[in-house]
Structure 1
Amino acid sequence: MNDFWQKANKSWTSDSTRYILTPSKKNQDMFYFIQEIGHFKALKPYYTEREHLTSYLMKYTLSGKGRLIYQGKEYLLEKGDIFLIDCQNYQYYETISDEPWEMVWLHFYGGSSALFYQEYLKNGEQTFTTETKRIGQIMENLLNLQEHRNARTAFTCSLIIHDLLNELVIQKNLLDFSDTDVPPYIFELQNFLDNHFKENINLEDLEKKFLVNKYQLNKEFSKYIGAPPIEYLIAQRINLAKELLLYTTKPIKQIAMEIGIDNVTYFSRLFKIKTGVTPNTYRKNG
């Protein structure tokens, strides 16, 4: 395993704030946890260069300008810009404006951090710009909690970090929408799948029925419903299979047929992929 290394210039103002924390092993196992958190006004020639740190880092620019170099790309960071990176990878960031680069930042780990990070990176970009105050408010809340820590602080911080990660994914992937933003055909399509999931349906069928290009249909349904249409259809089949396994004594072959799958071997394999167990095991342990 490669060793952690870091170089840095610590040119930040005297009213900057930084907390370095060392959670207990129990808290690391149980929670999302803070490793470091701060609110900096960083002056030239402030920079940090590092690699192989077991941590995720989020920075939210409040004013001034910074620059991030990460994964072979360079990013300009201005007011409202946010980045989230895996600090195992090489990173370099610095102040590039004459005025201080003011930012709030969080080093964190634990929980489902890695899964959230993967979801954050769905469009391949490390940065995005927020136009709401929500993330700044969450960070201010986390910072305030560090002033007077007590027995509840680790629990509270874990919940807030989870809230922060939700907000990052929602805003970056443009999931912050209301029902009125959703194209009407999406709900019609969802209703159609809810009522016809036992049938043999593919994207070409849906394209013809709803008169929407299948690629657009697939993209928009995924964005607003959370899964592509065919994956949604499969999930509805598995949901019914679970119900039949738990609340009837029907043979597995019959259940496969009832949910629209005529190959019981394929059904068993698909069920295990989606649930982690075979239909027999699910029925036995249900």
Structure 2
Amino acid sequence: MDYEFLNGFSPKLLNVVTRDPGFWRDFSYRLMRERTSLHILAYVYGGSGKLQFGHREVGLRAGMVFQLWPGLRMVLETTAEDPICFYSVHFQYGVLHWDGVQATWRQGSGPLLIGDTIMNLEAAGPELREAFERLYRLWSEKDAGYEWESRVVMLEAVRLVAAGEARDSVGKGGSATAVREAIVYMKNHYSKEIGREDVARHVALSPAYLSSKFKKHTGSSPIQYLNKLRLDHAKQLLRQSEMPIRQVAEEVGFADSFYFSRLFTKETGMSPREYRKA
């Protein structure tokens, strides 16, 4: 899961449909596209089927989520005895990236960076199904503001999918567990003069390996994440106290108040003093 991607993810919904037994009867239980033209995020709520896309072939059943994106050859087959049923969200998307107060826009092309393109999320429980059901209902009823509300619910569905995949990854151990422990350590020690080596030592990994896995799971380097924690706490101190800027910097772990001020200004577009008065 890429949190940097999720922070900037901005979808434009085109349609939300359900594929049920009636749909499959009309299509003789086989749906084929020589070349897909949309992004699709789908939640299977019943039945079973077989999906072929690109060079992959996978069985689908209730509780699974799958993605498709433009440019794929796709075949989806099911049976009259156990027709697959799923909610399907059709959309385009882009990613808005903020660097301090400057933003850049990138048109989306491949799959969403929320895990695998096929995910078994049965353990996510009813919350995920309810999100897709609500999204389908909002889009179908088309009341005032339905596009905005549908977009909000889609973001919630994406959050649930990403969270379910992340829990599964942590449950399997490995680097996800180490990253989680590293974050806890940084939360508890951000006010001290710690660096990447200290965090890596705490989780018993080499600094380079930790940085690689941390970036993969969070979208940030360990130091970028640590600085975000420090700056967020600095904002609280600036708004809630009359503490001098130098002392604020020291309280959140910056030995150099000038470096703190430069970093703060880049992140917020205001100096610490200006932020306090804003």
TM-score bucket (shorter structure): 0.5 to 0.7
Same amino acid, percent of matched pairs: 17
Aligned to 1:250: 244
**How far is the alpha carbon of 1:134 from its aligned partner?**
3.6
**How far is the alpha carbon of 1:163 from its aligned partner?**
2.1
User: Does residue 74 of structure 1 match 2:56?
Assistant: yes
The verdict on how the C-alpha distance between 1:231 and 1:101 changes in structure 2, with shifts beyond 3 A counting, is: same
The verdict on how the C-alpha distance between 1:268 and 1:68 changes in structure 2, with shifts beyond 3 A counting, is: farther
User: Does residue 129 of structure 1 match 2:110?
Assistant: no
**Scaled by the length of structure 2, what TM-score is found?**
0.62
Partner SS for 1:198: coil
> Structure 2: how far apart are the matches of 1:188 and 1:45?
48
Aligned to 2:269: 277
The verdict on how the C-alpha distance between 1:207 and 1:44 changes in structure 2, with shifts beyond 3 A counting, is: same
The verdict on how the C-alpha distance between 1:237 and 1:37 changes in structure 2, with shifts beyond 3 A counting, is: same
* Structure 1 residue ranges without an equivalent (≥5): 1-29
What is the one-letter code of the residue matched to 1:104? Y
The verdict on how the C-alpha distance between 1:201 and 1:75 changes in structure 2, with shifts beyond 3 A counting, is: farther
The verdict on how the C-alpha distance between 1:258 and 1:97 changes in structure 2, with shifts beyond 3 A counting, is: closer
> Structure 2: how far apart are the matches of 1:218 and 1:241?
27
> Structure 2: how far apart are the matches of 1:257 and 1:118?
43
Alignment of 1:198-277 (within 5 A): 198-208=191-201, 210=202, 212-213=204-205, 230-246=223-239, 247-248=241-242, 250-251=244-245, 255-264=248-257, 266-273=259-266, 275-277=267-269
> Structure 2: how far apart are the matches of 1:43 and 1:226?
44
**Scaled by the length of structure 1, what TM-score is found?**
0.60
Aligned to 1:49: 34
> Are the equivalent residues in 1 in contact too, given 2:182–2:199 (CA < 8 A)?
no
Partner SS for 2:144: coil
> Structure 2: how far apart are the matches of 1:39 and 1:118?
23
> Are the equivalent residues in 2 in contact too, given 1:120–1:168 (CA < 8 A)?
no
> Structure 2: how far apart are the matches of 1:173 and 1:188?
16
**How far is the alpha carbon of 1:277 from its aligned partner?**
1.4
What is the one-letter code of the residue matched to 1:170? A
User: Does residue 161 of structure 1 match 2:154?
Assistant: yes
**How far is the alpha carbon of 1:238 from its aligned partner?**
0.9
Alignment of 1:63-102 (within 5 A): 63-70=47-54, 73-80=55-62, 81-85=64-68, 87=69, 89-99=70-80, 100-102=83-85
Partner SS for 2:259: helix
> Are the equivalent residues in 1 in contact too, given 2:33–2:73 (CA < 8 A)?
yes
What is the one-letter code of the residue matched to 2:31? Y
What is the one-letter code of the residue matched to 1:35? N
Higher relative contact order by CA 8 Å / sep ≥ 6: 1 or 2? 2
Partner SS for 2:18: strand
What is the one-letter code of the residue matched to 1:92? R
Write out per-residue CA displacement over residues 201-233 of structure 1, whole angstroms, 9 at most, x where no aligned residue: 23443454x46445579969x97x997764443
The verdict on how the C-alpha distance between 1:166 and 1:194 changes in structure 2, with shifts beyond 3 A counting, is: closer
Shifted more, 259-268 versus 164-173: the winner is: 259-268
Partner SS for 1:266: helix
> Structure 2: how far apart are the matches of 1:250 and 1:119?
47
Write out per-residue CA displacement over residues 101-137 of structure 1, whole angstroms, 9 at most, x where no aligned residue: 44321113579799999995255x3221121344333
Structure 1's consecutive aligned runs of 4 or more residues displaced over 6 angstroms after TM superposition are 110-119, 175-178, 186-189, 225-228
Aligned to 2:131: 138
What is the one-letter code of the residue matched to 1:266? Y
> Are the equivalent residues in 2 in contact too, given 1:116–1:169 (CA < 8 A)?
no
What is the one-letter code of the residue matched to 1:95? L
User: Does residue 35 of structure 1 match 2:15?
Assistant: yes
> Structure 2: how far apart are the matches of 1:74 and 1:31?
26
The verdict on how the C-alpha distance between 1:268 and 1:90 changes in structure 2, with shifts beyond 3 A counting, is: farther
How many aligned positions are there? Answer: 242
Partner SS for 2:134: helix
Partner SS for 2:234: helix
What is the one-letter code of the residue matched to 2:66? F
Partner SS for 2:269: coil
